[in-house]
Structure 1
């Protein structure tokens, strides 16, 4: 085999570092097509900042355990996640880490298991998961990886099996991103693909690049609708988004978390809740919600427990 691949913790660390670089290079274009769930023009920035925090967290970590490394990245990313997209990226990384615990190198089966675990965590974190977003890209990657493992004739622990899975994922995520334009009415009207979906494609493309030791292929992104540098700005004529985004971290038992989720669902939308780690008999939950006004959401949070790292951000259209 002509490709030289890396499957240990250096590959995962390189993935996180490359993720930061890739998202930094593409953040302006991701921001420019961000109109779902709200047209606030910050998907690229949110993904980049969350990825940077995740990568920084493992830069001083000395371990050969793939799961430990990736879990540290996911927890750090979740504690300071930005927006819907950043939160889901952190949730995905944390989910991806779970089957990798105790393993020192990637295999095709571990990649497939990690992607499936990331899919489950990301989809379950949302009260109302919507296809045509980064969730669809994660699902397509997980399905492609599972199909590749099932059909492979390569030795399961071989590097050839890893390459097969990564190639299958690469093809699947591109198709999933292209399909987002037809899955969401707002994207179809604007004739663009989903910003979060492109961001997740970047994340998974960087995984392939880091393992195979190849540069990221920027040419894959040029044909995506709305992503060309000469494409018209999609915010022209759009009204400013009303409401605020409320985020925090809070320690709750599972039943308390379910009760809080129900209250936030009644108050707003884009509710994301996912456990970031244990806190005694409870769990630390990262919470995200869009609401018309912050007061009732903040009251619900304080009524449930002692929220920390609270942020309240206006939802408004990107100003160019």
Structure 2
């Protein structure tokens, strides 16, 4: 039943993905749920026990570790409830199925801090409630599940009436639709005793990105330090060192600047910095030597690695953004984000590789926070999940981290930093739709601010300006842009100059992000 349900979802995941509320190219609910089910199937296939309770445990464990995105985490909790209800059960009848659905619903609701009706949660709850009502009069499991699915379909079709945003988009809830496909696949096996076959090979779980290999290192020394002084100008110092290296990050204020640069002349950089103030926490690493050390086994390195006070796991999309997080001190980078949510297991593996008293996880996406919290609950390490919902929030949180402060103090500092950042995203529409009375045509440029569509247009620059004008207020002092892999350096540089003129009271920084699907990620602080 589980394998048939997983296959049915896999065959229909593109349709589930297309139910994305916003008409943007990052719908991934179907993919996340399918990969979560795929992980459950792999766990089943490893099991040598065929009892109902043993299989239910395998499904719970597999989906728990493979859970991706909010929909995948909720799905894993539904199956966790199934396993609770089916403990010591040898044969499933309608009553056992009704209890499993009920416990699945209860467990899923408990896992979400603020449950939203009109989602997968409503579909599983109303299906379970209906199942309890009809179980006595419908003892045959096949007939019972068929009737429950009819109820699930009916609830799913009402989700737009419960969530206005679904009605606006003209779609039903994607997570609920995915759950219905799973239930229908399970039912089809009961009817025919034939597993629904995959229309194509099942998608493999993406591996974590490999660590970079420096085959062609142009600048050999990774140089980091702080400049302390008065009337400092980060942007001015950045200009002075631009020609002497790459991977440059210069951030700070008039009293403190943090500098990171890859260069062949760290001494020259330090001399220029000394003209401005005194230096602290100077760190110079020979990257060519580090490359050689990659040949040393992970185990040997871990044995010799000192236990730090803090370690950081960051989720990042795009090679440029990954580099920025690494340069700012993140120990583990998980490649992922809007279109490739990491699993609970991915996050746990990264946590396990860090030797630190306290570990901070930066999900940098609202759809990854649940999986991060699930990883926290499965680890025996002291973990803080910072509720970062965007790349700019994650960068700001990491820059705020103070190695000398207590975890409680850092949690407060990070929370404040997250609240001080406004995020904008520039992408394109994948279908015609209407939002808040605004007609959106396929191919239009879209500006998204704080999770809402704020600008629509046929010209990229016009949409960028609309979003920036809405985000920049009298309190704004820093504008940062991360340009994606579809934007050239020349175009990004031109935009940077235009924004400097448009917002003269703000510092403007442009960085290569390399992110897919989003032309620009915008940040205002």
- Shorter-chain TM-score category? 0.5 to 0.7
**Cα pair 1:39 1:316 within 8 Å, conserved:** no
Counterpart of 2:46 in 1: which secondary structure? coil
| Inter-CA distance 21–289: structure 2 relative to 1 (3 Å threshold) | farther
Query: Which deviates the most, 204-213 or 131-140?
Result: 204-213
Equivalent residue for 2:12? 26
1:175 and 2:154 are equivalent in the alignment: yes
| Inter-CA distance 318–175: structure 2 relative to 1 (3 Å threshold) | farther
1:188 and 2:286 are equivalent in the alignment: no
Equivalent residue for 2:496? none
Measure how far apart 1:98 and its partner are: 1.0
Measure how far apart 1:139 and its partner are: 0.6
Q: Distance in 2 between matches of 1:288 and 1:92?
A: 25
Aligned counterpart in structure 1 of residue 129 of structure 2, from 126, 143, 155: 143
More strand by share: 2
Measure how far apart 1:207 and its partner are: 2.2
Per-residue CA deviations over 1:177-222 (Å, capped at 9, x if unaligned) read 10011111111111111111110111112222222326799xxxxx
1:291 and 2:389 are equivalent in the alignment: yes
Equivalent residue for 1:91? 77
Per-residue CA deviations over 1:38-59 (Å, capped at 9, x if unaligned) read 9830011111111111101111
Per-residue CA deviations over 1:219-249 (Å, capped at 9, x if unaligned) read xxxxxxxxxxxxxxxxxxxxxxxx9778634
1:213 and 2:192 are equivalent in the alignment: yes
Q: Distance in 2 between matches of 1:297 and 1:18?
A: 43
Q: Distance in 1 between matches of 2:63 and 2:163?
A: 28
Equivalent residue for 2:142? 163
Per-residue CA deviations over 1:59-88 (Å, capped at 9, x if unaligned) read 131213212212222212221211111111
| Inter-CA distance 295–189: structure 2 relative to 1 (3 Å threshold) | same
Aligned counterpart in structure 1 of residue 27 of structure 2, from 34, 41, 60: 41
What CA RMSD, in Å, does the superposition of the two structures yield over aligned residues?
Answer: 4.0
More helix by share: 1
Bigger Rg, structure 1 or 2? 2
| Inter-CA distance 289–71: structure 2 relative to 1 (3 Å threshold) | farther
Q: Which runs of 5+ in 2 are unaligned?
A: 197-336, 350-358, 409-424, 431-525
| Inter-CA distance 50–268: structure 2 relative to 1 (3 Å threshold) | closer
Equivalent residue for 1:116? 102
Per-residue CA deviations over 1:80-139 (Å, capped at 9, x if unaligned) read 211111111111111111111112210111101110111011111111110111111101
Post-superposition, which runs of at least 4 consecutive aligned residues in structure 1 deviate over 4 A? 214-217, 243-247, 267-271, 273-279, 282-285, 287-290, 295-299, 315-320
**Cα pair 1:96 1:117 within 8 Å, conserved:** yes
**Number of residue-to-residue matches in the alignment:** 248
Higher relative contact order (CA 8 A, sep 6+): 1
Query: Which deviates the most, 73-82 or 169-178?
Result: 73-82
**Cα pair 1:277 1:284 within 8 Å, conserved:** no
Per-residue CA deviations over 1:269-288 (Å, capped at 9, x if unaligned) read 66534589877xx6999x89
Q: Map 1:198-237 to 2 at 5 A.
A: 198-213=177-192
Aligned counterpart in structure 2 of residue 61 of structure 1, from 47, 52, 69: 47
Q: Distance in 1 between matches of 2:103 and 2:375?
A: 14
What TM-score do you get using the length of structure 2 for normalisation? 0.41
| Inter-CA distance 35–283: structure 2 relative to 1 (3 Å threshold) | farther
Q: Distance in 2 between matches of 1:20 and 1:277?
A: 26
Q: Distance in 2 between matches of 1:78 and 1:288?
A: 21
Q: Distance in 2 between matches of 1:295 and 1:71?
A: 39
Counterpart of 1:88 in 2: which secondary structure? helix
Q: Distance in 2 between matches of 1:289 and 1:132?
A: 23
Counterpart of 1:196 in 2: which secondary structure? helix
